[in-house]
Amino acid sequence: MAQRKHIARSLRFTLSAVYTGLFTLLLLGVMLLFRNNLATNLDVQARDDIQQSWDVLKSNLRIEHDPGQPNYHPVWFFDTGDPDEANAEARIRSVLAIADEQGKPVPENLSSTYESLGMDSPAQVKRVLASNQAIWLSKKDPEGLPYLIRQSYVTSEDRSRKYFVAIGKSFAESAALLRQFDYLCLALLPLVIVLCFLTGWIFTGRSLTPVLQIAQAAQHISGSNLSLRIPSRRTGDELDYLVDTFNQMIERLEINFNQVRQFSTDVSHELRTPITIVRGQLEVALLTANTAEQYRDAIVDSLQDIERLSQIVRALLLLSQAETGQVILQKQSLDLVEVSEGIVDQFQIPAEGASLDLKFLPKVLRCPGEFDRIQIERMLSNLLSNAIKFTPAGGSICVTLGLDGDNAEIVVEDTGQGIPPEHLPLIFDRFYRVRGKEEQASPEKGLGLGLSFVSWIVRAHGGTVEARSEKGKGTSFRILLPRHGNSVDEPRVHELPSGEAMRQL
């Protein structure tokens, strides 16, 4: 029962039923039209035949009266020797009634067939005699067979008398033909309905197969099975479009799931390392330390690692708050030249310590706009600390500031180790770090969150960030910030030719 209910509600059933219903209506319409046409043609043909007989009758019937006698009577002038005329007379006389002005039939001119149809009342006879036009009507014999009748009158030669004359023709053959047509339609209709439903069922079934495949595939998809794809039929129709869209959606989900998975792994890894170190240090201290000094050293070391731990947690919290829209920009009117200059100044000492030449080259005197000072300073700090971290001694770092249309354009460029092209599109992801031999050896290990912050800050200001790099030669980050900001919700990462990565925010 439930299954039947389910089928009756299915799209396949509905489409087939609608298609069958429409087709049946159309067929009924065509049949009715055809039947109507057939009936009209049969009627016209019968009337033509009767009219022809009437013309023949008129030229072969006269109403005469014998000289000296008051009575008039109809006289026929058929040449019975001529087979054609004999035939015509027989045809006319088969359904014939002639009556005088009182409606009294002339005995030898009332055929038995017409009699069986019922002689017309005197009132009807009078009505016919008074009418200038022939009257057409249909009558039925006792067996129910229909006849088409034409009633009119013939006038005597002296125009003093009118005689009612009715002739007719059996309509039985035509009625039988129409009945046959009706039976044929009645017999064909259920057959056509069944056939129609079946073809509709088969075709809609075929057309809906990809939809079912999508549903089945969707049922099998889970977090661990996102590599599943629905094969495209390559027909270019709407369902193919649906399949492609669905596959693209799964692909995006797969990428997102992998990122989330990778992110969880990275977070656990980042948090586990300091926890293991702290635990190790404390265990060793517990087992080996004897003096207060030794305990103090162990606690200081542990505190340093705990500090790193809380640094990671703080950064992660802030980043996730930022990305879920919980951090709202505190925009104010700022001069970017002044803000950038201040940050570059702060980095002069670490740059000198790393034997790097750090320059600030503004192309404009002032660059006013609406920005969040703290976030802009954070963005520049992250870029500069990376540049210092990844540029070997003797290299240089240059920060330029200019205008590009209504945007402020900030470029932070270094002559450092560069980023291999395969890593470039990923550097804005959380915890992503380029892990080459040199990088692993690097004493100052970052969290891999700095560029994620840069990415969010630029996005929150409605701008774009673009990274270009050449391994061994250097890296440059170009940021465009609308000066009278608009914010955009979703980040869009644009693939650039190798050696470039861009995040449009």
CA angle 214, 230, 17 (to 5 degrees): 35
CA distance 258 to 253: 8
Sequence letter at residue 504: Q
Q: Kindly write out the interface string for residues 468-487 of this chain, putting x where it contacts ligand ADP by CB under 6 A and - elsewhere.
A: -------x------------
CA distance 393 to 356: 6
Q: Which of 144, 142, 135 is nearest to 171 (CA)?
A: 144
Sequence letter at residue 29: G
CA distance 54 to 48: 10
Instruction: Kindly indicate which of the ranges 36-44, 154-162, 264-272, 449-457 contains the residues binding ligand ADP, using the contact rule CB under 6 A.
Output: 449-457
Out of 433, 459, 483, 503, the only residue in the binding site for ligand ADP (CB under 6 A) is 433
Instruction: Kindly indicate which of the ranges 93-101, 241-249, 293-301, 414-422 contains the residues binding ligand ADP, using the contact rule CB under 6 A.
Output: 414-422
Decide: is 171 part of the binding site for ligand ADP (CB under 6 A). Answer: no
Cα separations in angstroms, 365 against 144, 211, 341, 389, 403: 112, 62, 12, 29, 11
Residue closer to ligand ADP, measured from CB, 286 or 361 = 361
User: Cβ 390 to ligand ADP, closest distance in Å?
Assistant: 3
Q: Kindly write out the interface string for residues 208-247 of this chain, putting x where it contacts ligand ADP by CB under 6 A and - elsewhere.
A: ----------------------------------------
User: Cβ 434 to ligand ADP, closest distance in Å?
Assistant: 3
Helices 11-60 and 172-220 cross at an angle (nearest 10°) of 170
Decide: is 425 part of the binding site for ligand ADP (CB under 6 A). Answer: no
Decide: is 450 part of the binding site for ligand ADP (CB under 6 A). Answer: yes
Out of 421, 446, 485, 499, the only residue in the binding site for ligand ADP (CB under 6 A) is 446
Decide: is 343 part of the binding site for ligand ADP (CB under 6 A). Answer: no
Q: How many CB atoms lie within 10 A of CB 380?
A: 24
Is residue 148 within 8 Å of 169, Cβ to Cβ? Answer: yes
User: Cβ 311 to ligand ADP, closest distance in Å?
Assistant: 11
CA angle 382, 321, 494 (to 5 degrees): 60
Residue closer to ligand ADP, measured from CB, 96 or 454 = 454
Residue closer to ligand ADP, measured from CB, 61 or 379 = 379
Q: Which of 238, 205, 190, 192 is nearest to 16 (CA)?
A: 205
Strand 135-140: give its sheet, edge to edge: 105-110, 96-99, 162-170, 146-155, 135-140
Helices 238-288 and 292-323 cross at an angle (nearest 10°) of 170
* HEC secondary structure over 373-399: HHHHHHHHHHHHHHHHHCCCCCCEEEE
Q: Would you call 33 exposed, middle or buried from its count of C-beta atoms within 10 A (0-12, 13-18, 19+)?
A: exposed
User: Cβ 424 to ligand ADP, closest distance in Å?
Assistant: 9
Instruction: Kindly indicate which of the ranges 94-102, 227-235, 337-345, 413-421 contains the residues binding ligand ADP, using the contact rule CB under 6 A.
Output: 413-421
* Pairing between β-strand 357-362 and β-strand 396-404 as defined by DSSP bridges: parallel
Instruction: Kindly indicate which of the ranges 73-81, 185-193, 290-298, 426-434 contains the residues binding ligand ADP, using the contact rule CB under 6 A.
Output: 426-434
Quote the tokens at residue 106. 């002339």
Instruction: Kindly indicate which of the ranges 110-118, 123-131, 291-299, 439-447 contains the residues binding ligand ADP, using the contact rule CB under 6 A.
Output: 439-447
Decide: is 432 part of the binding site for ligand ADP (CB under 6 A). Answer: yes
User: Cβ 423 to ligand ADP, closest distance in Å?
Assistant: 7
* Pairing between β-strand 407-414 and β-strand 474-482 as defined by DSSP bridges: antiparallel
User: Cβ 451 to ligand ADP, closest distance in Å?
Assistant: 3
SS3 110: strand
Residue closer to ligand ADP, measured from CB, 335 or 377 = 377
Q: Kindly write out the interface string for residues 365-404 of this chain, putting x where it contacts ligand ADP by CB under 6 A and - elsewhere.
A: -----------------x---xx--x--------------
Decide: is 427 part of the binding site for ligand ADP (CB under 6 A). Answer: yes
Decide: is 448 part of the binding site for ligand ADP (CB under 6 A). Answer: yes
Out of 274, 416, 463, 482, the only residue in the binding site for ligand ADP (CB under 6 A) is 416
Residue closer to ligand ADP, measured from CB, 371 or 477 = 477
Question: How many positions of this chain bind ligand ADP (CB under 6 A)?
Answer: 22
Residue closer to ligand ADP, measured from CB, 407 or 475 = 475
CA distance 475 to 423: 13
Decide: is 451 part of the binding site for ligand ADP (CB under 6 A). Answer: yes
Residue closest to ligand ADP, measured at CB: 446
Q: Which residues bind ligand ADP (CB under 6 A)?
A: 382, 386-387, 390, 414, 416-419, 427, 432-434, 439, 446-452, 475
